[in-house]
Structure 1
């Protein structure tokens, strides 16, 4: 395996990042449900324009100059019982070209981005993801911190991690991410028409 280079995404990368995100998440069985094989490439497109998006945590991975992975972060919050908000990070999509999965690219993107997020002073990360993959980076079920989804439930795939020790101490409540994560299926399907037909 060649060395993985990680750098910030640049505007010139946008189309290629969306193409690789589309490849990473595409599943034929999603077409009957959402009208397209994935909507994560449209999410990547819209996130960049949102107020919650964090450009300094938007990284791409390259091997020999070829773009092979990407991770994006955005702001989210936990709403406490008294109505106040505690800001946290959310990340996703995390994308790796399918033919290069299980070669450390996703792990490199995660470790690098979490390290930089900590250096920048962000306290915690909460997100939805694969329950068997992310604990290797230190994530635990969010219920261990007393945090639920916005609709008041918990799942193994709903996870949290402190970047700064004690950041979630006493922080119990409901988690809210950018509304853009509720992807509009019609708009995603229309946007997909700008890409090569699969």
Structure 2
């Protein structure tokens, strides 16, 4: 059984390990995701309720093992005239031996619900063009949203958490300084 909950301070070391393991053999990774989460945790753009862990609970023994993590942090979408608040999903991590079992999807769906409850209207991400559309993500360019670096159009995505959550919002995503993107 999988249990989802906000991270706690006691989870930090396990989260670091889960993220490092999850991205160790990923081709399109700078292998710094675990350090990014540590930096974001100390930033003003960190939202504790949106740093979520997945615990695998052994039905026989009741033992829990932290097997996944997701982080949504504040970003803005700016067009020179206006600035709109949004969230960035980065990263979503599942221990390799637990991947392809739906845990990442549960983390994404749960995170969307919490984000919506907190009043957020949208999420942007850089990700796999075949995976994230399952969760209603579309090309960010369809909304008039761009990113401050070159990526294939299909990999920059956004989702509206509420109906028309991105209506009339166009511009470039501005990431917190912790992402290291100028």
TM-score, with normalisation over the residues of structure 1?
A: 0.82
Q: Is the 8 A contact 1:61 1:70 kept in 2?
A: yes
Partner of 1:180: 178
Q: 1:28 to 1:136 in 2, by over 3 A?
A: closer
Match for residue 60 of structure 2?
none
d(CA) in 2 for partners of 1:15, 1:53 = 18
**Using a 3 Å threshold, how does the CA distance of structure 1 residues 19 and 123 change in structure 2: closer, same or farther?**
same
Largest Rg, 1 or 2: 1
Structure 1: give runs of 5+ residues left out of the alignment. Answer: 184-198
Separation in structure 1 between the aligned mates of residue 23 and residue 41 of structure 2, nearest angstrom: 19
Deviations 1:134-186 (A, max 9, x none): 00001000011011112587611100011121121111111111222228xxx
Which position in structure 1 is the counterpart of 2:2? Answer: 4
- Quote the RMSD (CA, aligned, Å): 2.0
Say which of 42, 52, 55 aligns to 1:62.
55
Question: Displacement, 1:80?
Answer: 2.0
- Normalising by structure 2, what TM-score? 0.89
Relative to its length, the structure with more helix (as a share) is: 1
Structure 1 equivalent of residue 61 of structure 2: none
Report 1:53-132 matches (<5 A).
Answer: 53-64=46-57, 65-82=64-81, 84-132=82-130
Structure with the higher strand share, 1 or 2: 2
